A and B are shown apart, each in its own frame.
Chain A
Amino acid sequence: MSDHATTIEPSFLVDTGTRKGLVAWLTTTDHKRIGLLYLYAMTCFFLVGMGIGFVMRLVQLTSFQELVSAQTYNAMFTVHGVIMIFLFVIPGLPAVFGNFFLPILIGAKDVSFPRLNLTSWYFYMAGAILAVLSLFTGGGAPDTGWTFYAPFSLRTGTNVSLAVFAAFVLGFSSMLTGINFITTVVRLRAPGMTWFRMPLFCWAVFATAWIQILATPIVAITLVLVILERAFGIGVFDPAKGGDPVLYQHLFWIYSHPAVYIMILPAMGAISEILPTFAKRTIFGYKAIAFSSLAIAGVGSLVWAHHMFTSGMSPLAQLLFSLLTMVVAVPSAIKVFNWVSTLYKGSIDFQPPLLFALTFIFLFCIGGLTGVMQGALAINIAVHDTYFIVGHFHYVMFGGTGFAFFAALLYWFPKMFGRMYSKNAIYASWFPLFVGFNLLYFTMLILGLEGMPRRYYVHLPQYHTLHVVATVGSWFLVAGVLMFIGTLVRAAVKGSRAEANPWGGVTLEWTIASPPPVENFAEIPTVTTGPYHFPQEAR
């Protein structure tokens, strides 16, 4: 593994073409630049979504209810969900790190369809702009919740059609990215990069891409049906015309449950990259982790109706969906056990990415186990539509995907920007993040078990103390996020120069300069070993 850090090839951050500055970025087909474009856009949307969540917590203190009306509150939880899910968590890791690192990890110069890749980003931005427009135009911000359940979504006077169309456009972006990644993995692996020499992040992105192309079209057509229903009254979901609102729920969740795995699989892939590097040993159970990604993608597509146990369904269907839901826990647990085994007897080099990766495992376990609880029919019906669901969901999506996103960012930041952040500042931000997160969302789990329904503007007095605790937790969390982002922004501008391989990683991205040159590899590498082959490791 030679060190190309000293080569004179310009990095991708330097404009080498005829176009300069912003124009060069907005017309780029370089997968690395497109990854960063996603990162910048997503950071903005994440901050907006977080701001809305912050205000929603304030409302639950009850002293701010003059500022936010009940109708506005409904719009806020809808928009918070739409922004966080469709603009941050679903595209999150695949669009940023998948774009940036998938080609590098398999030894390619770019994705298969670079122009399509840029098109995906424009679809993403168009969808985002439409989503924002839907807040201020028409009958006002949508107030249906991010699930757009019929028949209310057909009747409400708010601007559901535009918001739904925005989600449709975002889905298109997601599908095109999925097509691109599958083709890239199949066609562009470097010589010697066999399927089982691929880094696990590539496996995760590959499995995710399959869900993206197999599930997203379903939600696309469902959302089109909602628009047609609102515009022309075609009657498929409208009970007054013989339609069936439960059909909407099925079609919606046929996509939106697999979408949960679109969100979490790449996160798991990133964790599988980070742990070997900091344990300085190969991953434990490579094939088990690779196949469990595919198993999650497969089985995860067959569990959607567990969102609908209270919507009316035959006992047999309930039983089957309950069983399948619990089956998904198996491949997830396989991953967790393999990660922990990877650390066992490793030479642990404790660095910020590892801290966040371990935090991910801890929080994801809570999220996953509360998920198994809800797979059980009796518990499901008791906690349905309570804060327990909200808490569980945030443990998986924020504690899981969010923290994995942070971990991946910390891991690959020096490679992406060629600069190193202040590790102490990151450690300092971890405390409010971790404490605030658990104060906020574990309290929600308790609130839910005590019976606090989700999406309520007001609450009964007996829940007030816990609501105050959760709100205080949200302040810590927001402070932690701002410290974290602030540290990285500062580092991107004036951090110290990073080496080509600051962590001692052995996958291909660490063999090239930081930041990578435009064409990634001066010469396409030939791969002769598995991805996590540490020469110093005693076998």
Chain B
Amino acid sequence: MTELMHRDDQGAKLGMWLFLVTEMVLFGGLFVAYSYMRYRYPAEFHHGGQELNVTLGVVNTVVLLTSSLTVVLSIVAIQRADRRTTMALLYATVGLGLTFLVIKGFEWAAKFQHGLYPSSAHLATLPAGEQVFFGLYFTMTGLHGLHVLVGICVLSALARMVARGSIRQDHYVHLENGGLYWHLVDVIWIFLLPLFYLAA
């Protein structure tokens, strides 16, 4: 009974924020596990961090931060009723998201080549703490990567909505919510970078 629905932008944003809270708690569980394991295996986590490529991690951080900027600018553009710029900025965000995933893919591939993945024969010869480190590394960056992927799909859908005109100058709460989600993905990466790459 869609005719019952009325527009409530503030309600929609409140709902989105609550959803982001659940996302933060979801990663929060992993951060709890990480903290405990790092407290238990400080030396192994230090050594595990040395195996990661800090340069690629930092490049990816810059890529994601830039993408957060483009998504904010897209909202500014729609507020000015500039549909073409909005879409261009959204596609730029999607492109940066994809870049992040590609770089992440290279990183993962390198780890696999070195036999640093859960249950590998090589990892089994390393100390227990390093096995946990890489278990958490793949879990947390993997789950984050999944969120990036979802974000890419969401932003692409939003770009289509802009093209169709269902996101307009006077009705862009969906775009704002999509942007909020993308910022969350960004913020979580900001925590992952020091925890894994800079831990060494």
Chain B residues closer than 8 Å to A218, beta-carbon distance: 25-26, 28-29
Q: Contacts A221-B26, A251-B32 given: A241-B4 contact, CB under 8 Å? A: no
Chain B residues closer than 8 Å to A30, beta-carbon distance: 1, 4
CB distance from B149 to the nearest CB of A (A): 16
Chain B residues with a Cβ closer than 8 Å to the other chain, count: 41
Least CB separation from B6: chain A residue:
A109
Least CB separation from A29: chain B residue:
B1
Q: Are A213 and B2 in contact (CB under 8 A)?
A: no
Quick one: which of B1-37 are within 8 Å of A by CB? 1-2, 4-5, 8, 10-12, 14-15, 18-19, 21-23, 25-30, 32-33, 36-37
Does any Cβ of A come within 8 Å of B128's Cβ?
yes
Quick one: which of A240-292 are within 8 Å of B by CB? 241-244, 247, 250-251, 254
Does any Cβ of A come within 8 Å of B178's Cβ?
no
Does any Cβ of B come within 8 Å of A89's Cβ?
no
| Stretch of A229-237, A424-432, A507-515 with 4 or more beta carbons under 8 angstroms from chain B | A229-237
Interchain CB contact (< 8 A) of A236 among B1, B25, B44, B136: B136
Known: A232-B119, A235-B135. 19 other contacts (CB 8 A): A113-B12, A113-B15, A178-B18, A179-B22, A180-B15, A183-B18, A188-B11, A217-B28, A218-B26, A220-B29, A225-B33, A234-B118, A234-B135, A235-B128, A235-B132, A241-B131, A241-B132, A247-B36, A518-B4
Q: Contacts A236-B33, A242-B131 given: A519-B14 contact, CB under 8 Å? A: no
Does any Cβ of B come within 8 Å of A182's Cβ?
yes
Does any Cβ of B come within 8 Å of A28's Cβ?
yes
Does any Cβ of B come within 8 Å of A104's Cβ?
no
Q: Are B1 and A28 in contact (CB under 8 A)?
A: yes
Q: Are A222 and B29 in contact (CB under 8 A)?
A: yes
Quick one: which of B23-62 are within 8 Å of A by CB? 23, 25-30, 32-33, 36-37, 40-41, 44
Q: Are B29 and A217 in contact (CB under 8 A)?
A: yes
Q: Are A236 and B8 in contact (CB under 8 A)?
A: no
Q: Which residues of B contact A (CB under 8 A)?
A: 1-2, 4-5, 8, 10-12, 14-15, 18-19, 21-23, 25-30, 32-33, 36-37, 40-41, 44, 117-119, 127-129, 131-132, 135-136, 138-139, 143
Chain A residues with a Cβ closer than 8 Å to the other chain, count: 46
By CB atoms of chain B within 10 A, which of A178, A232, A519 has the most?
Answer: A232
Q: Are B5 and A234 in contact (CB under 8 A)?
A: no
Q: Are B26 and A220 in contact (CB under 8 A)?
A: yes
Least CB separation from A241: chain B residue:
B131
Chain A residues closer than 8 Å to B135, beta-carbon distance: 233-236, 241, 243
Q: Are A243 and B32 in contact (CB under 8 A)?
A: no
Q: Are B29 and A179 in contact (CB under 8 A)?
A: no
Q: Are B36 and A175 in contact (CB under 8 A)?
A: no
Q: Are A109 and B29 in contact (CB under 8 A)?
A: no
Least CB separation from B30: chain A residue:
A221
Least CB separation from A182: chain B residue:
B18
Complex-state Cα separation, A220 to B127, whole angstroms: 29
Quick one: which of A177-236 are within 8 Å of B by CB? 178-180, 182-183, 186-188, 213-218, 220-222, 224-225, 228, 232-236
Chain A residues closer than 8 Å to B41, beta-carbon distance: 242
Q: Are A214 and B119 in contact (CB under 8 A)?
A: no
